[in-house]
Amino acid sequence: MQKTKKALITGITGQDGAYLAELLLSKGYEVAGTYRRTSSVNFWRIEELGIQNHPNLRLVEYDLTDLSSSIRLLQNGGFDEIYNLAAQSFVGVSFEQPVTTAEITGVGVVNLLEAIRIVNPKIRFYQASTSEMFGKVQAIPQKEDTPFYPRSPYGVAKLYAHWMTVNYRESYGIFGSSGILFNHESPLRGREFVTRKITDSVAKIKLGKLDVLELGNLDAKRDWGFAKEYVEGMWRMLQADKPDTYVLATNRTETVRDFVTMAFKAAGIAIEWQGSADQETGHDAQTGKVLVRVSPKFYRPAEVDLLIGDPAKAREELGWEPKTTLEELCQMMVEADLRRNQAGFSF
């Protein structure tokens, strides 16, 4: 009889952690998911997925920045696979909190790698790397061998963690795989990220609960996919014969402005754009009312202008490919936020 696999997911309170837990539980895994001690822990995502009381799910308090608790966690867990999704993941905040971001998103990862080396070097390790490591455009589309040029403290911290994962692979033979994932969104996305900020605001405007949506750089281009499909790619990386680095992306890029237009359309509102740069506004095509305004307070000190990824290696070696279109994803998010806002939900 096949042994039940045990997986550790750091960051189960986040978007990807929730979807990955759902996936692994559906595959019969025993899952331990970590959350941080705070005055009021929020499990809304695993509650929305209906897995919070699953008999094979165990929730464990843990902070990635603590080496000794990383070691104890692994000593007590008997894990076959570890998915490190924990991070200070908001690029904007990383400019305000560069040291905390480095400690969590960069050095924190080494605590886990060290714990694996000390406790059980056979554990398979997934590191949540990011297209933010490509940063300033060096090539289009970006793929595994595109040179890195991060543009934020977050991107720099992630690049350190990426290379440490590669280094532990090469130095100690640890099965450490790094997934360079392009932006992936869903109804479970945090509201500080631009797509969910947009879909939640569109829902509020549609319901008369908000007048205007304020945004920063509308010209930024992103390769946006559906998070639920991306966690499947993470799992596939750890089932491969050897550890490696893979890009997961859709190979389509759109501007923030395009996503705004798409989201309003999903709510039955046509948007017309006027002006440029920080004077640009989006109007209701029927009434002329201003619904979108640019506010420089959302600009970043350095911007990543254009991301578009080539997922050919993941398709060929892992059989992974994205299926949901950006229009479908946007529609799904707007509908979820309309439902939630009607019900008074506030996450």
Least separation in angstroms between residue 217's CB and ligand GDR is 4
Task: Determine the distance from the C-alpha atom of residue 127 to the mean position of all C-alpha atoms in its chain, rounded to a whole number.
Answer: 12
Contact 151, 136 (CB under 8 A): yes
154 is catalytic: yes
Answer with the entry of ligand NDP, ligand GDR, none that 194 interacts with (C-beta below 5 to 8 A by kind): ligand GDR
Q: Which residues have CB under 8 Å from 14's CB, separation 6+? A: 45, 85, 86, 89, 190
324 is an active site residue: no
Contact of 151 with 132, CB cutoff 8 Å: yes
Q: Binding of ligand GDR at residue 298 (CB under 6 A)?
A: yes
Query: What minimum distance in Å lies between the beta carbon of 54 and ligand GDR?
Result: 26
300 touches ligand GDR (CB under 6 A): yes
- Partner from ligand NDP, ligand GDR, none binding residue 216, C-beta < 5-8 Å depending on class: ligand GDR
- Candidates 105, 130, 165, 250; catalytic one: 130
Catalytic annotation present for 303: no
Which of 197, 204, 252, 315: binder of ligand GDR (CB under 6 A)?
197
Q: Which stretch binds ligand NDP (CB under 6 A): 12-20, 109-117, 196-204, 273-281?
A: 12-20
| Contact partner, 13, from ligand NDP, ligand GDR, none, Cβ < 5-8 Å per class | ligand NDP
Instruction: Choose, from 154, 168, 230, 246, the residue flagged as catalytic.
Output: 154
Q: Does 132 bind ligand GDR (CB under 6 A)?
A: yes
As annotated, the active-site residues are: 130, 132, 154
Binding site for ligand NDP (CB under 6 A): 10-11, 13-17, 34, 36, 62-65, 85-89, 104, 108, 128, 130, 181, 183-184, 190
